[in-house]
A and B are shown apart, each in its own frame.
Chain A
Amino acid sequence: MLALLLEAYEYFLANQSRFWAAATQHVWISSAALLIGTAIGLPVGIWAARRAHAGQWAINAFGALRLIPSLAVLFLAQPYLGIGALPALVALTLLAVPPVLIAAYAGVRNVDRGVSEAARGMGMTAAQILWRVELPLALPSIVGGVRSAAVEVIASATLAAFIGGGGLGIFITRGYALFDTRIMLVGAIPVALLALTVELALALVQRRLSSNAGMAA
């Protein structure tokens, strides 16, 4: 294994420009999908939390959508949207929406009714209650949703290489085509490190926020 790792490292050194281009592409497409996914999931989740019936319906629909395996979502982009980075971005965005949406819904839903009532009693408008009370209290849950979405998107972006979306997965597909494990490792190890780093960073943010929210409440 150690010899294999060294060989993988040599391959990495010999192909640095290609590696960094793929890594940049991976980070770029993941960030874009996460950003757009959050921009869609967050408002819809908040909206759903404030509408009892329609909200429940929307949550169930997205919950059902989430049952479709991510590989299927990603690969279905090929026949319907074609090959390249854009179809991959659309598919990755679709994967990012449900975790954020459901977390935003749960976060706002779980805010103590008494707290919102007290804010209303103090004369705050609905918009003020949302921005100054409910959202800050729901923030740890929302960050938790973004965290699951980020890990999911980074992992799935690896699969984007199969539909021509680039990213670090290209080393895995290339290594597989050439029966060369060390090339596959050049893709597999950085992706794992990237996912772990983002997961740990967002977990720290989430913990910070929940201890702050705990004090505020």
Chain B
Amino acid sequence: MLPRRPLLPRLRGVNVRYLIDNLPYVASLFGQHVLMVGVSLAVALAIALPLGVVCARVAQLRNIVLGVLGIIYTIPSLSLFVLLIPFTGLGLRPAVIALVAYAQLVLVRNVVVGLTGIDPAIVEAARGMGMTGAQILRQVELPLALPIMLAGVRVATLSIIAIGTIAAFINAGGLGLLLFDGVRSSNPEKIIAGAIAVSALAIGANGLFWLLERRAAQATHTG
């Protein structure tokens, strides 16, 4: 038999040795990444929710706000991280600022779409029952808009997870560290470990929010 020679010498299988040998380290970076994403998402939601409600009410404001957020969203993340360095230096803080800024477009847009898509007759009926504006918003409009808003949260989370890997470049830690270190030291196992871990995080988050979305959609249908 002929000795088997690989067709492409560079092509290797998926080598997970680094991932297995350094599981505690990868897990700690995974935790850092989750923390970075969680903090960014919480801050982003705290801004996007009121901003979205205002934009849903004031049509003139809507186009301006979404236009500005669209411009921010278009700036490549590595560029934005670099542009933030003179103001904030390196570390987790500029990373969170950038991630919060990126998440705004999707979050605000979906709050607006969710709220403006509600049948006006329902809001009228609530008003007719003597509910105040705040009551209508909290008890009628936001619950009805929830499935669409959750879809926005899912998409925003996925982009925060992805852009968060690039944040390792400005010393924000997280799973991107494995990717950057792996490329710098030409260590394929490290790159593969980082890619697997961050993909697992993205797929997990996608599934989790997808379940929440479906639940919310069912709740609005039955309720």
Binding site for B on A (CB under 8 A): 1, 4, 64, 67-72, 75-76, 78-82, 151, 154-156, 158-159, 162-163, 169, 172, 175-176, 181, 184-185, 187-189, 191-192, 195-196, 199
Q: Could you give 9 example pairs across A and B, Cβ below 8 Å? A: A67-B199, A72-B199, A78-B191, A79-B191, A80-B12, A154-B76, A158-B76, A162-B180, A195-B74
- Given that A71-B166, A72-B195 are contacting pairs, would A187 and B82 also be in contact in the complex, using a CB cutoff of 8 Å? yes
Query: In the complex, A169→B166 CA distance in Å?
Result: 13
Shortest CB–CB separation between residue B162 and chain A, in angstroms? 4
| Bound form: Cα–Cα A176–B170 in Å | 9
* Closest-CB distance, B72 to chain A (whole angstroms): 10
Q: How many B residues face the partner with a CB closer than 8 A?
A: 41
Q: Are B74 and A188 in contact, with the CB atoms below 8 A?
A: no
B202 at the interface (CB under 8 A from A): yes
Q: Which residues of A contact B82 (CB under 8 A)?
A: 172, 175, 181, 184-185, 187-188
Give the residues in chain A near B74, CB-CB below 8 Å.
151, 195-196, 199
Taking A71-B176, A80-B11 as known contacts, 5 extra A-B pairs with beta carbons closer than 8 A to each other, sorted by chain A number, are: A71-B166, A76-B191, A78-B186, A158-B76, A188-B79
Task: Tell yes or no: B169 within 8 A of A by CB.
Answer: yes
User: CA–CA, A191 to B161, complex, Å?
Assistant: 22
A4 and B87 CA atoms in complex are apart in Å by 11
Question: Hey, which chain A residues are within 8 Å of B116, CB to CB?
Answer: none
In the assembled complex, the CB of B30 is this many whole angstroms from the nearest CB of chain A, namely 14
Contact B85 A181 (CB under 8 A): yes
Known: A1-B86, A75-B183, A188-B82. A195 touches B75 (CB 8 A): yes
> Chain A binding site: helix, strand, loop or mixed by DSSP?
helix
CB distance A68 to B195 under 8 Å? yes
Q: Which of B10, B75, B179, B184 contacts A71 (CB 8 A)?
A: B179
* Closest chain A residue to B199, Cβ basis: A68
Confirm or deny: B194 has a beta carbon within 8 angstroms of a beta carbon on chain A: yes
- Nearest opposing residue in chain B for A183, CB measure: B82
- A67–B83 contact, CB under 8 A? no
* CA gap between A132 and B217 in the complex, in Å: 38
CA distance A181 to B12 in the complex (A): 37
Question: Distance in Å from the Cβ of A87 to the closest Cβ of chain B?
Answer: 10
Q: Is B41 an interface residue (CB 8 A)?
A: no
Interface residues of B in 21-51 (CB under 8 A from A): none
Cα distance, A187 to B184, chains bound together (Å) = 19
Bound complex: CA A37 to CA B188 (Å): 26
Q: Does B91 contact A (CB under 8 A)?
A: no
Considering the complex, give the chain A residue whose CB is closest to the CB of B164. A69
